[in-house]
């Protein structure tokens, strides 16, 4: 007979294994240091195998790309780049330090710094998950990059964070996404003229867990920008005709908000999801644009105009008992490119809508060992209506300590 928290624990365990990969003190390897210092080593070795039905659409860790090939030719590949190693140190003063890396750097195989931060009382400083992020509403997937439209930024960044109860605030380095459309001009310099400011509230009540967050950022650009008119080509399709250039020295404010929730419907079944809205901050709309980050703004004459976007994800998890689970999730993002295309800063070939869906079976035959298989579907549609689709399979085996 399952306990009341069976599903909650199962979902948390799957999330930790597939997203965080951070073992708790009880499952880590304790290291003998000094009387005042406790240290532990944690991590896992992981094999990912992918089989693509429609083209080579695998990134490192064999996750799926939205920059789709649609050749109809199958591709197989395998790597262990997701494997990771971390160390956690606690001092008797209450100070804690975490440093963690994996091997996804440099396209795969090079050591990459994931986390490097310290904590003391309510303060955190260093590199870790953005405060504009939540794993509430997350559906466990074997694909390392997971669903489009998850809650906030599914990435890590340098920051200073203060937490009090369910509230947390941060000052962060900006994510380096394509803030200004390339067609706005080759001589245009963009810069991060201010830090990103975030606030998040995250809590639970009974069978419901919930999270909401917001951020503000500033986009600045200066230099010489191309100015374009859209004309109709001989085949009736829109074409860009550059006619002038303008001096630019402008800034614009961008912002984003998200809400996420997980509801335990029964002891074995949950539903979870998230909704997102961004304006001038599409680098925080997960898996928008060409692949990971959507364009946030463009230049019209001498002014910066922001681009809006929205997205969401929805999923369900079923705990079958004995370390087995089934997870089904869907995600999408969409950018509002009407004005950017009409003003000639982007073309109708720009990626507008991304969608993906994943269905997986995960099994833990013994403690610290997870195996699973997953089907994934990816679709990308341009502003002009051209669509590419791809299907793929992933197998994963993970050995944790």
Question: Tens digit of pLDDT for each residue in 265-323?
Answer: 999 999 999 999 999 999 999 999 999 999 999 988 888 899 999 999 999 999 999 99
Q: What mean pLDDT comes out for the span 26-52?
A: 88
Nearest to 142 by CA among 70, 64, 68, 76: 64
pLDDT at residue 188 is higher than 60: yes
CATH code of 49-75+119-400, in short, is 2.40.160
- Tokens linked to 25: 């003190």
- pLDDT per position as a tens digit, 137-173: 999 999 999 999 999 999 999 999 999 999 999 999 9
| Direct distance between the N- and C-terminal alpha carbons of the chain, in angstroms, rounded to an integer | 28
At residue 292, the pLDDT reads 94
At residue 2, the pLDDT reads 43
At residue 386, the pLDDT reads 96
Contacts of 357 (CB under 8 A, 6+ apart): 147, 328, 329, 330, 331, 376, 377
Return d(Cα 81, Cα 101) in angstroms, integer. Answer: 11
- pLDDT per position as a tens digit, 66-95: 999 889 899 999 999 999 999 999 999 999
pLDDT at residue 218 is higher than 70: yes
Contact yes or no for 60/108 (Cβ under 8 A): yes
Quickly count helices (H) and strands (E) in the chain: 2, 21
Return d(Cα 21, Cα 43) in angstroms, integer. Answer: 7
Rg (CA), the chain: 22
Q: What percent of the chain has pLDDT over 70?
A: 86
Contact yes or no for 51/392 (Cβ under 8 A): yes
Distances (CA, A) of 176 to 157, 179, 192, 284, 296: 10, 8, 9, 10, 11
DSSP helix, strand, coil percent of the chain (3-state; round to 5)? 10, 60, 35
Residue 29 backbone zone (phi > 0: left; psi -120 to 50: alpha; other: beta): beta
User: What are the residue ranges spanned by the domains of the chain?
Assistant: 49-75+119-400
Bridge partner list, 48: 79, 396
Does 53 or 243 have the greater pLDDT score?
Answer: 53
Residue with tokens 């009090």: 164
Question: Sign (positive/negative) of CA torsion 63, 69, 70, 73?
Answer: negative
- Tokens linked to 398: 């993970």
- Tokens linked to 326: 């089934």
Contacts of 205 (CB under 8 A, 6+ apart): none
At residue 175, the pLDDT reads 83
Q: What percent of the chain has pLDDT over 90?
A: 74
């Amino acid at each position: 007979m399952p306990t009341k928290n069976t599903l909650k624990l199962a979902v948390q365990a799957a999330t930790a294994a597939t997203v965080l990969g951070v073992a708790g003190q009880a499952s880590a390897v304790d290291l003998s240091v000094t009387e005042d210092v406790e240290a532990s080593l944690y991590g896992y070795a992981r094999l990912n195998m992918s089989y693509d039905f429609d083209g080579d659409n695998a990134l490192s860790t064999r996750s799926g790309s939205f920059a789709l090939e649609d050749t109809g030719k199958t591709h197989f590949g395998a790597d262990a780049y997701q494997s990771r190693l971390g160390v956690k140190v606690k001092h008797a003063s209450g100070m804690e330090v975490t440093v963690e890396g994996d091997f996804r750097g440099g396209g795969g195989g090079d050591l990459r710094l994931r986390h490097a931060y310290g904590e003391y009382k309510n303060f955190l400083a260093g590199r870790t998950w953005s405060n504009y992020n939540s794993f509430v509403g997350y559906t466990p997937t074997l694909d390392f990059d997971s669903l489009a439209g998850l809650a906030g930024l599914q990435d890590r960044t340098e920051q200073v964070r203060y937490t009090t109860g369910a509230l947390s605030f941060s000052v962060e380095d900006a994510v380096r996404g394509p803030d200004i459309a390339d067609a706005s001009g080759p001589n245009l310099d963009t810069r991060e003229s201010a830090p990103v400011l975030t606030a998040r509230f995250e809590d639970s009540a009974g069978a419901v867990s919930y999270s909401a967050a917001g951020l503000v950022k500033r986009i600045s650009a200066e230099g010489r920008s191309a100015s374009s008119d859209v004309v109709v080509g001989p085949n009736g399709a829109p074409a860009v005709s550059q006619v002038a250039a303008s001096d630019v020295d402008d800034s614009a404010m961008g912002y984003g908000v998200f809400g996420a929730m997980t509801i335990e419907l029964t002891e074995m079944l949950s539903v979870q999801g998230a909704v997102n809205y961004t304006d001038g901050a599409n680098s925080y709309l997960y898996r928008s644009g060409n692949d990971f980050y959507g364009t946030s703004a463009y230049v019209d004459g001498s002014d910066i105009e922001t681009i809006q976007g929205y997205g969401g994800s929805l999923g369900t998890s079923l705990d079958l008992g004995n370390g087995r689970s089934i997870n089904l999730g869907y995600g999408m993002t969409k950018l509002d490119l009407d004005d950017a295309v009409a003003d000639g800063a982007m073309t109708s070939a720009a990626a507008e809508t991304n969608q993906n869906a994943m269905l997986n079976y995960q099994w833990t035959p013994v403690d610290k060992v997870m195996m699973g298989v997953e089907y994934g579907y990816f679709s990308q549609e341009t502003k002009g209506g051209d669509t590419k689709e791809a299907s793929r399979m992933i197998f994963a085996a993970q050995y944790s300590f």
